[in-house]
């Protein structure tokens, strides 16, 4: 079976909601034992139960990826039971606003999760991957890290850093058998989008959803499952010749807008 993850151990941060939930599901369907790192324990336990009922292998770890000690402890416990083959750094938070609207507290909050969280998890995983001389890392970036997107100053800053970390790790560990790539989604229809529209545009959710969808040249938002399928390919043996690359999944946004 192509894109099989049988006998692979994967870690997915933010793995119980949105894009992370889709990645966890697809990886589990393809045979991986998926360790879900999630801050929201109740949400994580509910999702893990869903996976168990379907016969998939997973384990929830309640973890704040911004706290290095917590991350190190979780990765150490996972490694005690075998190798760490795959890491998907998906956990992230958003911010809407330009530089004047980005307060110092916003910058610190986004840095801690979107940048430090990715750093913490890669730093924890790489020593175990080096021991095996193999491993795959996929970092969730964004088109906002590559091109200008209105009112995304703080968010864009953090996703640009994710791209830089991806390229650096790919370069430094290519001879250790570790591949590192990133995925840059455009607008993806997740519960975050629905919550944002409900809070910012009450009573006009459908109108604004349609408007945002049409900003993608392809005419709609992407789905979490489409992002998950790309992550699956990049983490599979079929992608063994790919490293140090960012993969936009954007409905043509970068190249076809304007």
Under 8 Å between Cβ of 227 and 183: yes
Q: Which of 177, 145, 132, 168 is nearest to 244 (CA)?
A: 168
Tokens coding 56: 């998939």
The helix/strand/coil state of 130 is helix
Query: Residue 211, Cβ neighbours under 10 Å: how many?
Result: 12
Cα distance between residue 211 and residue 179, in whole Å? 38
Strand bridging mode 246-249 / 86-89: unpaired
167 is catalytic: no
In the numeric block, the tokens 């250790």 are attached to 176
Cα distance between residue 40 and residue 61, in whole Å? 10
The helix/strand/coil state of 35 is strand
The separation between CA 57 and the C-alpha centre of its own chain, rounded to angstroms, equals 20
**First-last CA distance in the chain:** 41
Q: Hey, which residues does 209 pair with through a beta bridge?
A: none
CB-count burial class (<10 Å; 0-12, 13-18, 19+) for 105: exposed
Q: Which of 54, 46, 49, 45 is nearest to 26 (CA)?
A: 54
Given the residues 155, 167, 233, 253, select the one marked as catalytic.
155
- Enzyme catalytic residues: 155
């Amino acid at each position: 079976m192509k894109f099989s993850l049988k006998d692979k151990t994967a870690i997915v941060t933010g793995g119980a909601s949105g894009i992370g939930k889709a990645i966890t599901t697809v990886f589990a369907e393809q045979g991986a034992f998926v360790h879900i790192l999630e801050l929201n324990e109740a949400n994580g336990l509910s999702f893990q139960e869903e996976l168990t009922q379907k016969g998939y292998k997973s384990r929830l770890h309640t973890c704040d990826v911004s706290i290095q000690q917590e991350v190190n402890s979780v990765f150490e416990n996972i490694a005690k039971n075998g190798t760490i083959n795959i890491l998907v750094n998906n956990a992230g938070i958003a911010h809407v606003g330009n530089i004047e609207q980005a307060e110092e507290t916003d910058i610190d909050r986004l840095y801690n999760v979107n940048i430090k969280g990715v750093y913490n998890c890669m730093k924890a995983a790489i020593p175990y991957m080096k021991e095996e001389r193999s491993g795959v890392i996929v970092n969730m970036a964004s088109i906002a890290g590559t091109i200008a997107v209105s009112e995304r100053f703080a968010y864009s800053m953090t996703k640009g850093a994710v791209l830089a970390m991806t390229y650096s790790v790919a370069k430094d560990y290519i001879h250790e058998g570790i591949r590192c790539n990133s995925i840059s989604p455009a607008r993806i229809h997740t519960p975050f989008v629905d919550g944002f529209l409900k809070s910012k545009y009450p009573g006009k959710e459908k109108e604004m959803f349609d408007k945002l969808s049409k900003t993608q040249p392809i005419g709609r938002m992407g789905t979490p499952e489409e992002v998950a399928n790309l992550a699956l390919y990049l983490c599979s043996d079929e992608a063994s010749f790919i490293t140090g690359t960012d993969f936009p999944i954007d409905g043509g946004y970068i190249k076809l807008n304007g």
